[in-house]
Structure 1
Amino acid sequence: MEKERDKKLSKLLSYRWIVWGILALAYVIVFFHRLAVGVVRGQLETTFNISSATIGNLASMYFYAYMVMQIPSGILADSIGARMTVTIGTLLAGVGSILFGLAPNIGIAFVGRLIVGIGVSVVFIAILKVQTEWFYTREFATMAGITSFIGNLGGIIAQAPLVILVGNIGWRNSFILIGFISVILAILCYMFVRNTPSDMDLPSISEIEGRKVKVQKINILKSLVKVIKNKYTWPGFIVFAGLFGAFVSLTGTWGPSYLTEVYGMTPIKAANHMTVAVLGLAIGSIFIGKISDKMSRRKLPMIIFALTNLICWALLVFINNGKINQSVLYPLMFVLGFSTCAFTLAWSCAKEINDPNAAGISTSVVNMGGFLGGAILPPIIGNALDKYSLILDIQSSYQRAFTYAFVSVFIGFVASFLVKETNCKNIES
């Protein structure tokens, strides 16, 4: 009996990496689409003859879809499970990417981008749900950070590698290729991912940890209302909106053109700077999760990282806007990305201040914040650029436009002081 139990435990601890690994690869696709528009901005403007404001709206289409789908994503994760949720979502993302690549006009491109946003929107919440079932409680923030790191590799692919790929096969074929890769990942997800260890007749994590968990079918509407009414849900929402909205506005839409137009960089060199920022976020996501778990604190690390992020944006917007040596930009971009990871602790906080049976719903509500920021800011910056470029030089135009990003980060920083400290434990009761 003991030997059989040890065998099952060993299988659980090994197979969970297959489950997580496939979902993490799907998350790479999520980040690719999140940041890809900024790199192909020039090609899209030429192909469809559109303005900066339209580019901003095209980029935002992904985030609006993602934001609207967050609560449904949590409901799906808590009801039909991660396996079918991610399978269907990744398949939709593949279809949307192919449609975007084939788009004969800007209207169809918007539709393709919308379908992509709907498809990829379900992946991260499903991963968090899977981590709750397959990983120890003490590993949650660390695994969330590692997941963010892997996902950010998709953001890195959407920078210099995408520039090279587009240069070789064109922007249309590049998105069609990513679409077919997404379809393959959807098939792998259906074949190998399982919602819980019990689906494979393996012991649950709660059983191994000696926790008594009352598994019950939740009342979705009641749980959603309870999460929304919880005043401690919202500070993390705002932190995520402020910091992430500014970050994706830079790396996903306006950063490459800012560096080429203000600093005179080549497209590849500009993309490399965005890659450094994305890499900074990826590394920071692992670091902050580990340090938070080790300290058994959520609030203090979030405040320190948010303050660092605010300082970086102040340097970028008010001091470093085309006025000093370019060599400073690489470390600045890295630290800016690294400190943006403050928002990743909001996911753990959401789980720890709400009913554990509604983990998918609580994290999805907080997750909406980041994509609200990502949806609102790019068009605002695009409209500002269209407006100020008529009366100011290009450097001053970007400075005025990026001031909106600085304000966004400042709001997120202020909200970090209102976050409820959980000491890395569920305090819902």
Structure 2
Amino acid sequence: MQREQVHDIGRRRAWSIWLVAMAVYVLAVFHRSSLGVAGLLASERFGISATQLAFFTVLQLVVYAAMQVPVGVLLDRFGSRALLLWGLALMTLGQLVFAFATSFGVAVLARGILGAGDAMVFVSVIRLVAVWFLVRQAPMVTQVTGWGGQLGAVAAAAPLTLLLDHAGWTRTFAGASTLGVVLLVAVACLVKDSPYASTGVVRVKLGALAQSVRLVWGNPGTRLGMWSHFTAQFSGTVFALLWGFPFLVAGQGWSEVAAGTLLMAMTGWVVVSGLVLGAAIARWPYYRSWVVIGVVAVMALAWTAVLAADGPSPTWLVVVMAFATASGGPASMVAFDLARTFHPVGALGRANGIVNVGGFVASLLTMALIGVVLDVVEPGGVSAYDLDDFRIAMSVQYLFWAFGVLQIVRFRRRALRHLGRAHPRALEELRAGRPWTHPGLEDQGV
């Protein structure tokens, strides 16, 4: 039975809600990335080692990944608006505590709280996209959501550096926390969970939560999305958040300014590649998994050319490799479009939560394994690393790419068989390049 539609889909109100939700996501990425330019100041303020400093980043990713399934359950139960409000409240509290923290322990607690709030934001925005936009619009809006969030990383670079220089630690981070208060008001006033009279949230009883997650996990489309996210996302995250800068400076002999510029340029390339991939998956929805595999293959080929070079690679080749790596971000967003195909809106929170775990688990494992390999091949530490050390360490990426591609191929077959049994018409529509909506969603006029 169809629910009563009370707002237009894919029109002005949808875009207004999306813009407010996007602003929250941009702020989340800003908070997540803010320590990147404040690392040296943090070391001095808290009197910590490089290992302890790295722990901040690892902690946030661990908290983020660990909370995705619980957040997905909460999202399906309470809706995007509620989770955006909770996420904003936690991020605001975490950043405010971080602003006034003077000890490592308190700072760790603050970043943990911030990571918990951050974990609630992205999947909430993606759920709003699935509900408020036409099926033919959703792939492109999902891509724009992904690369638009990188504006937060850009804002956490040069502007935050200037603020830290002029306003100091406490005033800068306390000021950043006030942005959350403004967005709390905007979300409370403007965001609605659904264009229908019923919001589509599922009042799952507590005793049935585990069973509901098992049912979502049992859908091969969920695992197809998770492995797609796992395979495409990790390399860009590892490069941007931790090992890219040392690889460029210590391995390739670049200056710190040049390395930082390339990392910034990668953000711009995410926009370009995101638009291209968004159009591609909208045009050929049946081949979305192969699009992901194609991007991963280009990524692996570019890294092979750089790592196999005799000595430091030419600048143009390193740039090509970096841009190919950055394309993994938009490719990983295809995973959420896959989840939308295989699940009704009432299960999207749980499905997207599981999907979102993939890339962050792969990122954490890759970051850690690269560090272990570097320690083994060069016990002298960071100052002693050279190109040969990085050649060996960065090669661990191939293990994750190969395993991930095998899993994508495996679960693509299973997912298509599942969809063919449950909804035979869906395969015909997808092969013909036409958008298909899971029958759990209302007809959206496509």
Normalising by the residue count of structure 1, what TM-score does the alignment of the two structures yield?
0.84
Change (3 A) 1:339 1:241: closer
1:376 aligns with 2:376: no
Is the Cα–Cα contact under 8 Å of residues 87 and 117 in structure 2 kept in the other structure?
Answer: yes
Q: CA deviation at 1:158?
A: 3.2
Q: CA deviation at 1:34?
A: 3.7
In structure 1, what is the Cα distance between the partners aligned to 2:165 and 2:182?
25
**Alpha-carbon deviations, 1:380-428, whole Å to 9, x = none?**
3344444544256433333333233343333333333233456353579
Q: Which residue of 1 aligns with 2:127?
A: 129
Question: Which stretch shows the higher mean deviation, 114-123 or 38-47?
Answer: 38-47
Q: Which residue of 1 aligns with 2:436?
A: 425
Q: Which residue of 2 aligns with 1:319?
A: 309
Q: CA deviation at 1:59?
A: 0.8
In structure 2, what is the Cα distance between the partners aligned to 1:193 and 1:144?
18
In structure 1, what is the Cα distance between the partners aligned to 2:201 and 2:305?
50
Aligned length: 411
In structure 1, what is the Cα distance between the partners aligned to 2:39 and 2:373?
17
1:304 aligns with 2:294: yes
Question: Which stretch shows the higher mean deviation, 171-180 or 130-139?
Answer: 171-180
In structure 2, what is the Cα distance between the partners aligned to 1:333 and 1:224?
37
Q: Which residue of 2 aligns with 1:363?
A: 352
Aligned alpha-carbon RMSD (Å)? 3.1
Q: Which residue of 1 aligns with 2:73?
A: 75
**Alpha-carbon deviations, 1:27-73, whole Å to 9, x = none?**
11222244444444444344445444434332111111111211222
Letter in 1 for 2:302: C
In structure 2, what is the Cα distance between the partners aligned to 1:131 and 1:176?
31
Q: Which residue of 2 aligns with 1:175?
A: 173
Q: CA deviation at 1:366?
A: 0.9
1:241 aligns with 2:234: no
Q: Which residue of 1 aligns with 2:397?
A: 405
Question: Which stretch shows the higher mean deviation, 264-273 or 17-26?
Answer: 264-273
Equivalent residue for 2:271, pick from 279, 282, 306 = 282
Question: Which stretch shows the higher mean deviation, 395-404 or 296-305?
Answer: 395-404
Normalising by the residue count of structure 2, what TM-score does the alignment of the two structures yield?
0.81
In structure 2, what is the Cα distance between the partners aligned to 1:138 and 1:387?
50
Q: CA deviation at 1:346?
A: 1.0
Change (3 A) 1:170 1:317: farther
Question: Which stretch shows the higher mean deviation, 310-319 or 333-342?
Answer: 310-319
Letter in 2 for 1:106: F
Q: Which residue of 2 aligns with 1:143?
A: 141
Q: Which residue of 2 aligns with 1:158?
A: 156
Q: CA deviation at 1:368?
A: 1.2
Question: Which stretch shows the higher mean deviation, 333-342 or 59-68?
Answer: 333-342
Question: Which stretch shows the higher mean deviation, 24-33 or 153-162?
Answer: 153-162
In structure 2, what is the Cα distance between the partners aligned to 1:266 and 1:165?
24
Q: Which residue of 2 aligns with 1:210?
A: none
Letter in 1 for 2:322: M
Change (3 A) 1:271 1:393: closer
1:20 aligns with 2:9: no
Equivalent residue for 2:407, pick from 403, 415, 425 = 415
Q: Which residue of 1 aligns with 2:94?
A: 96
Letter in 2 for 1:58: F
**Alpha-carbon deviations, 1:130-155, whole Å to 9, x = none?**
12221112222221111112112222
Is the Cα–Cα contact under 8 Å of residues 251 and 312 in structure 2 kept in the other structure?
Answer: no
Is the Cα–Cα contact under 8 Å of residues 67 and 116 in structure 2 kept in the other structure?
Answer: yes
Change (3 A) 1:331 1:309: closer
Change (3 A) 1:426 1:135: closer
Change (3 A) 1:267 1:187: farther
In structure 2, what is the Cα distance between the partners aligned to 1:48 and 1:263?
32
In structure 1, what is the Cα distance between the partners aligned to 2:374 and 2:97?
29
Change (3 A) 1:399 1:52: farther
In structure 2, what is the Cα distance between the partners aligned to 1:385 and 1:168?
37
**Alpha-carbon deviations, 1:74-133, whole Å to 9, x = none?**
222222221121011012112212222333222222212111110011111111221222
In structure 2, what is the Cα distance between the partners aligned to 1:394 and 1:49?
28
Identity of aligned residues (%): 21
Question: Which stretch shows the higher mean deviation, 175-184 or 365-374?
Answer: 175-184
In structure 2, what is the Cα distance between the partners aligned to 1:50 and 1:405?
30
Q: Which residue of 1 aligns with 2:281?
A: 292
Letter in 2 for 1:312: A
In structure 2, what is the Cα distance between the partners aligned to 1:341 and 1:275?
16
Question: Which stretch shows the higher mean deviation, 388-397 or 236-245?
Answer: 388-397
Alignment of 1:101-120 (within 5 A): 101-120=99-118
Is the Cα–Cα contact under 8 Å of residues 239 and 411 in structure 1 kept in the other structure?
Answer: no
Is the Cα–Cα contact under 8 Å of residues 239 and 412 in structure 1 kept in the other structure?
Answer: yes
In structure 1, what is the Cα distance between the partners aligned to 2:49 and 2:392?
18
In structure 1, what is the Cα distance between the partners aligned to 2:192 and 2:214?
29
Change (3 A) 1:252 1:164: farther
Change (3 A) 1:260 1:157: farther
